[in-house]
Amino acid sequence: RLVLLDIAAEAVQRELEAFRPEVVFHQAAQASVPVSLQRPGHDARVNIIGTIRLLEMCLAAGVRKVIYASSAAVYGTPCYLPIDENHPVYPLSPYGISKLAAEMYLSVFRKHWGLDFTVLRYANVYGPRQDALGEGGVVAVFADRIRRCEQLTVFGDGEQTRDFIHVHDVARANLAAFSSAGGQVLNVSTGRATSVNQLVTMFKRLTRRVPSVTFAAARPGDIRHSYLDNSKARSELNWAPQYDLETGLAQTLRAIGLLTGDKH
Ligand SMILES: NC(=O)c1ccc[n+]([C@@H]2O[C@H](COP(=O)([O-])OP(=O)(O)OC[C@H]3O[C@@H](n4cnc5c(N)ncnc54)[C@H](O)[C@@H]3O)[C@@H](O)[C@H]2O)c1
């Protein structure tokens, strides 16, 4: 049953009390770094106050555990790679701060009121049905542009790297956390770095199209290299990513009709 409500609305309480969930998967967020820089108050209202209200309502409804979608944005500029969960946290944006603040509230709610949690810090998530508009991830944006026969814009020299994790692997990590890793903070990632240029090459190979690529100025504040150690999630959740990037991209492209056949 789908009920569309603001995360902080009183009506959420009624829904929770009627449904009595054992576990809540908390994915709702103001999820854009640029929007958080334009509207930090809005970001904090949704991500911090919204999370606090949700936790209060979960307690009242007897929820056992909250599984929280956090982000690599909490780490800020990497001091070392791959980033593990012991890496210092120093967020560079209001979004990173709000995700970290929500993590800290989860910890306090567990300590004082016994509401269990698992925090999952996602790397760069991609997959079918990702929104290419607004702040869509680079995979969704490139796929959409190729579909429209438009040129691709790469910010900087394209040698910056990210850790691209398929949404199905993220969903499986959430399900695994249902009954394990209480009170834990875990990276959900592939542990592999892929440059934007490598991504463009994969797109060309898979789609057999040669989109024109332009290079624009690097975006201020963009992190040069980022990939996350996932060994803790592997052991705590008995989980491992199943998609390599090429397979995941092929499946994502097939979903929007950019690839036919079952070759990939
Ligand atoms: N996509 C990524 O690469 C990535 C990486 C790290 C963490 N995350 C986290 O994963 C979660 C999902 O992100 P996404 O990429 O699917 O973003 P998204 O923007 O597509 O999804 C966020 C959802 O939250 C909902 N939402 C926004 N404000 C709300 C409010 N006030 N009340 C109720 N719902 C509200 C939106 O309607 C949307 O459905 C977020 O918590 C995000 O911070 C995403």
Over the stretch 147-205, which tens digit does the pLDDT of each residue have?
999 999 999 999 999 999 999 999 999 999 999 999 999 999 999 999 999 999 999 99
d(CA 40, CA 59): 27
210 pLDDT higher than 90:
no
pLDDT at 134 over 70: no
Q: What is the pLDDT of residue 209?
A: 86
Q: How far is the CA of 185 from the centre of ligand 1 (A)?
A: 19
Point out the ligand 1 atom lying closest to the alpha carbon of residue 68. Answer: 41
- Of all protein residues, whose CA lies closest to atom 17 belonging to ligand 1? 31
For the CA of 130, the closest atom of ligand 1 is 20
Six token digits for residue 10: 């009183």
Answer yes or no: is the C-beta of 170 below 6 A from any ligand 1 atom.
Answer: no
CB atoms within 10 A of CB 143: 26
Q: Which domains does the chain have, with CATH numbers?
A: 1-122 (3.40.50.720), 123-264 (3.90.25.10)
Output the pLDDT for position 258: 85
Please report the atom of ligand 1 found closest to the CA of residue 9.
Answer: 32
Active site annotation includes 95? yes
Residues 243, 194: contact at Cβ < 8 Å?
no
State how far the alpha carbon of 261 is from the alpha carbons of 155, 207, 208, in Å: 32, 12, 13
| Residue 9 Cβ < 6 Å to ligand 1 | no
Question: From atom 10 of ligand 1, which residue's Cα is the shortest distance away?
Answer: 69
Q: Whose CA is nearest to atom 8 of ligand 1?
A: 71
| Residue among 6, 66, 70, 122 whose CB has most ligand 1 atoms within 8 A, to mutate | 122
Confidence of residue 135 (pLDDT cuts 50, 70, 90): low
Whether the CB of 31 sits within 6 Å of ligand 1: yes
Cα-Cα-Cα-Cα dihedral sign, residues 158, 222, 7, 112? positive
**Residue 135 CA: which ligand 1 atom is closest?**
19
Catalytic residue among 95, 122, 126, 227: 95
Placement of tokens 């120093």 in the chain: 90
Q: Is 187 in the pocket of ligand 1 (CB under 6 A)?
A: no
Span 1-15, average pLDDT: 95
